[in-house]
């Protein structure tokens, strides 16, 4: 009788080192819960080659890109990358354990060595103040607590709706910059 299990079926993709389905993961830092990640599908790669790297339209200044740390992830081959797909939910928590924001998207790429997350396709962010951001592509630098988008964005707050191309903010969505703005601001008239 052979008691050995062949796990080679897990490595069906080139350079895949992990695969999972229907996952719910909690991430901790210094004993505090940082965020919760739920996804339908996950694959981790030791080396990942981008065959169709999306062009990035820059609608913001280079100093913001340097501050964010973005230049380190625009290579053709990336080490230690995880791709989460088929419905992704992230809930971010502060040190007190309160929810700061929730992001949903169709796909998430985690650049492990850089601690940067890229969310793609139908990205929606809600913060604890009930502000809302919608875009097609959003980057989150977990270490620096910053979010960034090069795409068109729609932002809704209690008193305004803003559209723009390009967005940069702290990840609690309190201090943000929007580029190429247009929108509607409601003004109380007396």
Per-residue three-class SS string for 32-67: EEEEEEEEEEEEEEEEEECCCCCCCCCCCCHHHHHH
Q: Which domains does the chain have, with CATH numbers?
A: 8-185 (2.60.450.10)
Q: How far is CA 33 from CA 37, 100, 135, 174, 181, in A?
A: 11, 12, 26, 21, 35
| Average of per-residue pLDDT across 76-88 | 75
Q: Is the pLDDT assigned to residue 112 strictly greater than 50? A: yes
| Residue 60: closest CA among 147, 180, 176 | 180
Q: Which two tokens stand for residue 140?
A: 């989150």
Whole-model pTM? 0.75
Q: Is the pLDDT assigned to residue 97 strictly greater than 50? A: yes
Which residues does residue 38 pair with via DSSP β-bridges, in sequence order?
24, 89
DSSP summary character for residue 68: H
Q: Is 86 helix (H, G, I), strand (E, B) or coil?
A: strand
What is the residue-averaged pLDDT of the chain?
Answer: 76
8 confidence band (pLDDT: 50, 70, 90): very low
């Amino acid at each position: 009788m052979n008691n050995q299990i062949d796990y080679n079926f897990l490595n069906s993709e080139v350079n895949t080192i992990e695969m999972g389905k229907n996952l719910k993961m909690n991430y901790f830092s210094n004993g505090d819960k940082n965020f919760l990640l739920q996804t339908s599908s996950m694959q981790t790669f030791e080396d990942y080659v981008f065959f169709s790297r999306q062009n990035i339209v820059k609608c913001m200044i280079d100093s913001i890109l340097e501050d964010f740390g973005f230049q380190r992830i625009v290579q053709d081959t990336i080490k230690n990358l995880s791709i989460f797909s088929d419905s992704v939910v992230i809930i971010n928590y502060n040190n007190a354990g309160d929810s700061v924001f929730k992001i949903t998207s169709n796909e998430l790429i985690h650049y492990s060595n850089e601690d940067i997350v890229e969310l793609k396709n139908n990205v929606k962010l809600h913060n604890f103040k009930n502000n809302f951001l919608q875009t097609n592509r959003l980057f989150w630098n977990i270490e620096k607590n910053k979010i960034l988008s090069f795409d068109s964005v729609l932002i809704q707050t209690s008193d305004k709706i803003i559209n723009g191309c390009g967005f940069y903010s702290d990840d609690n969505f309190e201090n943000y910059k929007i580029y190429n703005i247009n929108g509607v601001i409601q003004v109380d008239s007396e």
